Amino acid sequence: MNQLFDETKIDVNGPVPEKELERQYYYLAKARAIVQKQSEALGRPLTCMVVTFGCQMNARDSEKLLGILKSAGFEEAESEDADFVIYNTCTVRDNANQHVYGRLGVLNGIKKKRPSMKIALCGCMTQEETVIEKIRKSYRFVDLIFGTHNIFKFAELLVRTYESDGMIIDIWKDTDKIVEDLPVERKYPFKSGINIMFGCNNFCTYCIVPYVRGRERSRAPKDILREIERLAEDGVKEIMLLGQNVNSYGIGLDDPISFAQLLTEVEKVNGIDRIRFMTPHPKDLSDELIDVMAASKKICRHVHLPVQSGSNRILKAMNRHYTKESYIELALKIRERVPDVAITSDIIVGFPGETASDVDDTIDVVRKVQYDNAFTFIYSKRTGTPAASMPNQVSDEEAHANFDRLLAVVQETARSRVKLLQGRVMPALIEGVNERDPKLVTGRLSNNTLVHFPGDASEVGQIMDVSLDQCEGFYYLGNRVEHRG
């Protein structure tokens, strides 16, 4: 957790500061006083729980939320039976919304037994007007709702929640604000995500993200590098640079800088051993970026390159701005320049108007690119996106049949790619004790492949050479290899 202000020295009875960072630390001090008073009345610390749905961006946002809560004096709970529960929501697919509604029903039961409990919602789902109306009418027990653009206001909203009896709704349509240096509570001591930009300008016709995350805005390079330097000083070995399309990083800055140039600067930070990034867009992944990857000793050998479809007709309908041919050319260029790279992808099946022939084109891309893994999804209609009102919506039966055909090929090619590593010795970052066998630890290779090998919890966070002895389809069993003198 990083903190620039000592809130114990802030006068909470004085005027509210005008500068946003100072303002939020003022409210953080005020929140601490409220939490302390309630804790004393209860005779125990107040507890909190942050539940994350969705992507790495949401996971990083949740670390910020937890940082505020812990700075305010809350202790993290192990379950949702806590004094303050916040759901950081995802809305990429409709079933994500339905899942949150179901979980809210469970929280309502807890709150009926303990009315002092506070329940909050934030994230992408709350940027939808229909969601807000539904919460207002059917989930009136929710205390606080805010969106993706004003997460930096959480300390202020926290105070308002405890000072008010009614539901607080604070949703912004968009923002150009980026507030640095608020508290963060990282989930892992050895690795961390880093937002380098926010929002998206691509407007793929199936995607709700630009509408709920807003337009692209990049953080200043000096702020990113300063954060990474602090993480390195705190023992972090691996970082992941996060953006909806990292290729667009830096375009709107006063002094524009390319994503490749940013990576070059990040590589200079001492103490950081591994650099990952998520997600580049195939339409504008540059030769400069490929060259930087090829020359780098720190950038991980993994590129997640979402194709979504292999049909030019469907790609145009999706507003993806590339063709099947240009995508394959790009993927093969990456493989040629970075021979040990793993390429993974996202693929949608069942987009409006898609035929079996279109899926054949997608399968052809899978066979030509030879993905190391791919996340395949059946199209989910999202109200508010152009694709939702397109004609020729594909039936569930047809979509599932095509999905099964595609998945079989994805799994076949992924297994063949992973198997190529058999017998090699590669460095792995130990991420934790194996969930099924406590005598094993789980490590992640630079190319994102997992390997399980003998070890214990004391080794978590270390990078060790591991022999890849036994391929188990999508992961390996192996053994540590000691360096010879």
What is the per-residue pLDDT for 123?
A: 93
Please check whether the two domains, 7-170 and 425-480, share a CATH topology. Answer: no
pLDDT tens per residue, range 395-415? 999 999 999 999 999 999 999
Confidence category of residue 97, pLDDT binned at 50, 70, 90: confident
- Please tell me the total number of residues recorded for the chain in this structure: 485
In CATH, what is the architecture of 302-420?
2-Layer Sandwich (3.30)
Torsion, Cα 415 436 49 377, to 10 degrees, reads 20
pTM above 0.85, yes or no: yes
Lowest mean pLDDT segment, chosen from 8-22, 412-426, 441-455: 8-22
pLDDT at 104 over 70: yes
pLDDT > 90: percent of the chain: 85
pLDDT > 70: percent of the chain: 98
In 92-234 the beta strands, taken as DSSP E runs, fall at: 118-123, 144-146, 168-170, 191-195, 197-198, 217-218
b vs e for 300-316, b when ≥16 Cβ sit within 10 Å of the residue's Cβ?
Answer: bbbbbbbbbbbbbebbe
Q: HSE on the CB side for 260, CA within 13 Å?
A: 12
Cα dihedral across residues 436, 87, 308, 378: positive or negative: positive
What is the per-residue pLDDT for 92?
A: 80
pLDDT tens per residue, range 319-363? 999 999 999 999 999 999 999 999 999 999 999 999 999 999 999
What is the per-residue pLDDT for 22?
A: 92
pLDDT tens per residue, range 154-170? 999 999 999 998 999 99
pLDDT tens per residue, range 34-84? 999 999 999 999 999 999 998 888 899 999 999 999 999 999 999 999 999
What is the per-residue pLDDT for 5?
A: 61
Q: HSE on the CB side for 202, CA within 13 Å?
A: 27
In 211-361 the beta strands, taken as DSSP E runs, fall at: 217-218, 238-242, 274-278, 302-304, 342-349
pLDDT tens per residue, range 243-281? 999 999 999 899 999 999 999 999 999 999 999 999 999
What is the per-residue pLDDT for 78?
A: 92
What is the per-residue pLDDT for 24?
A: 94
What's the fold here for domain 425-480? Answer: OB fold (Dihydrolipoamide Acetyltransferase, E2P) (2.40.50)
Homologous superfamily of 7-170: Cobalamin-binding domain (3.40.50.280)
**DSSP annotation of 202:** -
Residue of 424, 390, 18, 460 whose CA lies nearest to 205: 390
Domain coordinates in residue numbering, the chain: 7-170, 302-420, 425-480
pLDDT tens per residue, range 177-234? 788 888 899 999 999 999 999 999 999 999 988 888 888 999 999 999 999 999 999 9
For residue 92, give Cα distances in angstroms to 34, 55, 116, 380, 396: 36, 9, 32, 8, 18
pLDDT at 4 over 60: no
Q: Which amino acid is at 380?
A: S
Residue with tokens 């214990």: 456
Pairing of strands 197-198, 217-218: antiparallel
Query: pLDDT higher for 318 or 93?
Result: 318
CA geometry: angle 317, 321, 327, nearest 5 deg: 110
How many angstroms separate the CA atoms of 225 and 289, rounded? 18
pLDDT at 7 over 90: no
pLDDT at 106 over 50: yes
What is the per-residue pLDDT for 176?
A: 78
Burial class (CB in 10 A: 0-12, 13-18, 19+), 25: buried
Query: pLDDT higher for 173 or 425?
Result: 425
pLDDT at 1 over 70: no
How many angstroms separate the CA atoms of 201 and 214, rounded? 8
Sequence-ordered list of residues with C-beta below 8 angstroms from that of 92, at least 6 positions apart, any chain: 54, 55, 124, 207, 208, 209, 380, 382
pLDDT at 318 over 90: yes
